[in-house]
Amino acid sequence: MQLTETVKLYPNKYQTELIKATMTEYISTVNKLAFGAANGRSITKITTADVKVNLPSALCNQCIRDAKSIIRKYNKALRNSDTKVRLSVLKKMCCYINNQNFRINDDCIGFPVIINGQSKRISVVKPQTEYI
């Protein structure tokens, strides 16, 4: 069983800048990998060591998986269509929280970011929720 929950967070200004920079790098990396694969570069056996980006390795690994997913959908659309097919790109900043990339606690969510060249987790406090 899979549970999905939307959580509104209130990071401070510094945390917001770090998260935005990380998500911008994430989107850029996925799009570069997908465009490279669409132009003939194989990404089937690519690893985080092959991708030189300023992201924690867990997020880099997620970039690779997302790019592979985009390419699978693109190739399927090419096989099933007689017209020209556009490659999908990521644009909207979003965070998919799972146990590999993010740590979820009772009162905060830990995001992996790069600070001074080191992978660190910043903890963003969740607001108190009232259940009626």
Per-residue pLDDT 10s for the chain (132 aa) are 667 777 777 888 998 898 888 888 989 999 999 989 888 888 888 888 899 998 888 888 888 998 998 898 888 888 887 777 788 787 777 666 566 677 777 778 888 888 888 888 888 886 665 554
Question: Is the pTM value of this prediction over 0.85?
Answer: no
What's the alpha-carbon Rg for the chain, to the nearest Å? 17
pLDDT in the model for residue 128: 61
pLDDT tens figures, 10-19: 888 998 898 8
CA 89, 63, 20 angle in degrees (round to 5)?
A: 80
pLDDT in the model for residue 44: 84
> How many whole angstroms separate alpha carbon 112 and alpha carbon 65?
17
DSSP 3-state assignment of 115?
strand
Classify residue 82 by burial, with Cβ atoms within 10 Å: 0-12, 13-18, 19+.
exposed
pLDDT in the model for residue 32: 92
